[in-house]
Amino acid sequence: MEFTGETAAPEEALKTEQALTQIRALGESPQDNYRVWYEIFVYSFCDSDGDGIGDLKGVTSKLDYLRQLGINGIWLMPIHPSTTYHKYNVGDYRAIDPAYGSLEDFRELLGECGKRDIRVILDLVVNHTGSDHAWFTAACEYLRTLGDAEPNMQDCPYVDYYNFTREFRTGYTQVSGTDWYYESRFSPDMPDLNLGSDAVRSEIREIMAYWLGLGVSGFRVDAAKEFYSGQTDANIEVLSWLQQTVTELKEDAYLVAEVWDSFDQVTRYYESGITSIFDYPFGDSTGKIIKVIRGAGNAATVTSFATALEKADRAYLGANPDYIDAPFLSNHDVGRIAGFCGGDAAKTKLAGAMNLLMSGSAFLYYGEEIGMTGSGNDPSKRAPMYWNPQRDSGTTQPPPECVLPESYPFGSYEEQRFDDDSIYNYYRQLIAIRQAIPAVSHGRVAAEAALNTGCVSAFRKTWGEESCIVLLNISPEATQADLSAYGNWALAASLSAEGSPITLDGATLTLPPYAAAVLLPAKN
């Protein structure tokens, strides 16, 4: 019996050429990839048509909100057709899930983002596809026709797109109606792609070209550690290829990879040449930021923050001289930071400052700017954006099995927007400081030994001719810093976390509990 599945159409190559022409036609000035990126789970962000599910039009309707917050980049979690609410099992890489809207809605979103200097990156989920993807269903259909015969790629190229074997292994699932198994590390509905296949790589290149041609600025690379589970060198090779390929398509395209691993491993993965890797060693519930906040008031812990920043900068830079750090506090896979801060407003604010005063492309998970909490099962980490207590104005329904907290510690956006002391207004101020001082976002980092003492974490950032010094009081008590040796420096930005002002009296800088300050060289 002959298999009738289609092989890659010759028009495919043409499509890439068209996409490349489109990319060149965009003709934008090279983008600065040091941005404040806002991670959006479209499902839970804003619903424009009242069906309870967030959508692209909903995101577009909130762009002024995001601009006011100060962000200038958006990472959209997967928007392609999928059988799950989270959409990390992609059914078609070139389409928009109808629940989120249409390709026209996506173009409109990009257009409106462009007007506001907001760049958009998409989730690139290529460790695996959805089990309903045409490549996978064609391959399985072919295997069912085989009997005892060996598969032939000439008959069905898609058998080489996945990792099929006749021998059962851990992390594999049986192809129904056959004695074949396929690799499926995450779940049976997520068959792992064979990233060693030239045909698969060519497909990935086409997918990237397609979206870059529409105007996206790059991709967030999902699950890079699982490309070849447990094989770092092989994963690094794939990341190198991805970076090289995306740069060939669009010179300034931005890639940030998810490598959920230790400091040493993240450092190694930078050897791939990839621009950014999420800085898990600093973010999440086990990262340096929350550890230091939990150790607030302990001088050894507090001062270790600045030295850890210096160490990471040197290590990552040593592995990739063009690296851009990608700090974050929370994302859709981990509990929200406000919860780890025990609902304490000052600690939640300081955690935000520790993240956004790190160099690189800083990431902010939707709702973090209003101190939303959320932990437990995954859907509970992906709860509806809390726009207002009435839960209208585009508020979505919670995803399946999401457990909402009885209340949020700091209220909704609507309740916070006119409160100067709110988490929301602190974030606005913080992002404004980051955007206004290039050394904050771009600087090389070194602990400022003379000031990095007691409960003050102090570090200097240098970017070309520019520099700044950041001071953080990581303690529940007010503290002072002696600036007598810093006569040529001025207090440029103050972030008070609990109301009391930061004051400079002569050479004595008084930092209230959990306060942050930025010094800049005085103008002559």
**Can you spell out the DSSP letters for 354-423?**
HHHTSSS-EEEETTGGGT----SSGGGGGPPP---TT--TTPPPPPTT----SS-TT--HHHHTT-TTSH
233 part of the interface to Ca ion, by CB under 5 A: no
By CB under 5 A, how many residues form the interface with Ca ion?
5
261 part of the interface to Ca ion, by CB under 5 A: no
Q: For this structure, is 466 an active site residue? A: no
Nearest one of 9, 105, 19, 32 to 442, comparing CA atoms: 32
Reduced to 3 states (helix: H, G, I; strand: E, B; else coil), residue 476 is coil
Nearest approach in angstroms of CB 55 to Ca ion is 4
Nearest approach in angstroms of CB 395 to Ca ion is 11
Q: Of the two residues 273 and 379, which places its CB atom closer to Ca ion in the complex? A: 379
At position 434, the amino acid (one-letter code) is: R
> What string marks each residue from 26 to 55 as x (binds Ca ion by CB under 5 A) or -?
---------------------x-x-x-x-x
Q: Of the two residues 46 and 516, which places its CB atom closer to Ca ion in the complex? A: 46
Nearest one of 320, 223, 306 to 267, comparing CA atoms: 320
Nearest one of 441, 444, 442, 434 to 313, comparing CA atoms: 444
Choosing from 39, 222, 325, 344, the catalytic residue is 222
Q: Of the two residues 55 and 279, which places its CB atom closer to Ca ion in the complex? A: 55
Q: What is the largest CA-CA distance in the chain?
A: 89
Nearest one of 148, 158, 147, 248 to 205, comparing CA atoms: 248
Q: Of the two residues 70 and 384, which places its CB atom closer to Ca ion in the complex? A: 384
109 part of the interface to Ca ion, by CB under 5 A: no
Q: Tell me phi and psi for residue 91, to 5 degrees.
A: -95, -25
Q: Considering only residues 414-473, where is the footprint of Ca ion by CB under 5 A?
A: none
Q: Of the two residues 47 and 313, which places its CB atom closer to Ca ion in the complex? A: 47
Name the residue with tokens 């993807």. 133
Q: For this structure, is 92 an active site residue? A: no
Choosing from 123, 192, 226, 258, the catalytic residue is 258
Nearest approach in angstroms of CB 417 to Ca ion is 24
d(CA 491, CA 524): 14
At position 146, the amino acid (one-letter code) is: L
Q: Considering only residues 128-187, where is the footprint of Ca ion by CB under 5 A?
A: none
Nearest approach in angstroms of CB 394 to Ca ion is 9
Nearest approach in angstroms of CB 52 to Ca ion is 7
Active site residues: 222, 258
Binding site for Ca ion (CB under 5 A): 47, 49, 51, 53, 55
